[in-house]
Structure 1
Amino acid sequence: MAKKNKVQDRRINKEKSRLGHCYAFSARRELARVRYFNRILMGAQSRFEFESAWKACVVQLRSVAHVLQKSDGARNAFLRASVEKRYVFWKSPKKCGNDYFGFIEDERNSLLKNGRSSIVCEVKEDGEALEFPVKIIFFGQMCLASNAISECVSWLDLEIARIEDAAWSERRVKKSMPTTRKRRTGTGKS
């Protein structure tokens, strides 16, 4: 397991050096945690396992945006500007054409503030046993809970890539611009 992590870290560091400081390393690490909890969600065999894994996935999904803003954005001005632009875009589902961010935020608030999920499950209860895998209504359609998380992860992965690309492009443009310096007109001493 440790060897696999080292290989993954080397790959990430190689990618990070290619992109320079415009790489959202912390957000990508949080996204990897969501993928881990989603694998647990897929294999859930009890109500406790399902609810714990669901809560972990949703909270970690929302933490990706926090980490993008507070950690990765604080490290680099180009990344911060790109994150702020995308964040405004995510907050207006009419502009972006989907509401993944709204789903993640509403579900996280429901879990943490109300103590229960807002998802509607197709569940046949037999005492404590749920019918596995659990299906939920996600954007008006029935799907597996783990598939809903996978779609959110894919969306966030794409959004992080867009943010990084925008930050990298902005950085390249800024570096290629000629700087205007005042010339010294010296009446200096000889």
Structure 2
Amino acid sequence: MTRTAREVLADCEIALEMLEAEQDLGRWRVHWAGALALVRAVGHVLQKVDGADPRMRRQIDIAYRRWKSQKVSNAIFWEFIEEERNNILKEYRFNLHPLDHVDVAVMMTVRHPQSGELSQIPQVVPIGENIYRPVLDGYSEGNDARDVYREALDWWNAELTAIELALSKSSPTAADS
């Protein structure tokens, strides 16, 4: 089983809760660095700890080869989990909007009260209070970082489930588990 990798994944869920609740940008950034280290640790723990079992290791190797050969469909791993962790832990470079408040351009449609004529009014709206922390460029550019992190957690969950399923199908008997 992917028991230890799932423990790390459970801690990733806690990290996401912390990111959702934190208001202070400095503390948020520290939580983000930890969250990205954790989300990448799922794979390292999967390979090194859960993969100590040779049968499990075969399934992990098959999954990794699939991720590598299908980089587009596994872009969340290569372009976010791997790349963003490297950005922070190797260069301390954050791919996030750097300020407490993010200005967002919106187009408002208004109806004239007498004529009923519609017109559009451009407006810049500042968003604060930890509502929106956009990714600056690359994978999911413009999306809230926590939404991208959630996608990464969902991807890991699906991949761990697939590995566990493949292991259960490859096992000759339940007693081997």
TM over 0.5: yes
d(CA) in 1 for partners of 2:135, 2:4: 30
RMSD between aligned residues: 2.6
Query: What TM-score does the superposition give when structure 2 sets the normalisation length?
Result: 0.74
CA contact (8 A) 2:140 2:148 kept: no
The answer for the alignment partner of 1:99 in structure 2 is 75
Report the structure, 1 or 2, having the larger helix content: 1
1:60–1:87 CA distance, 2 compared to 1 (3 A): same
Paired residues for 1:29-178 under 5 Å: 29-74=7-52, 76-94=53-71, 97-102=73-78, 103-117=80-94, 119-121=95-97, 123=99, 131=128, 132-133=130-131, 134-137=133-136, 139-172=139-172
Aligned-partner Cα distance in 1 for 2:173–2:63: 19
Would the aligned equivalents of 1:122 and 1:136 in 2 still touch at CA under 8 Å?
Answer: no
Q: 1:92 to 1:46 in 2, by over 3 A?
A: farther
Q: How far is the alpha carbon of 1:143 from its aligned partner? A: 2.2
User: Please, which runs of 5 or more residues in structure 2 have no aligned partner?
Assistant: 103-126
CA distance in 1, matches of 2:3, 2:100: 41
1:135 deviates by 2.3
Greater Rg by CA: 1
Deviation at 1:77, TM superposition (A): 1.7
Distance 1:57 1:161, change over 3 A: same
Q: Deviations over 1:56-91 (max 9, x none)?
A: 1110011000111100010x2221101011112223
For the residue of structure 2 that corresponds to 1:162, the secondary structure is helix
In 2, distance between residues paired with 1:174 and 1:33? 29
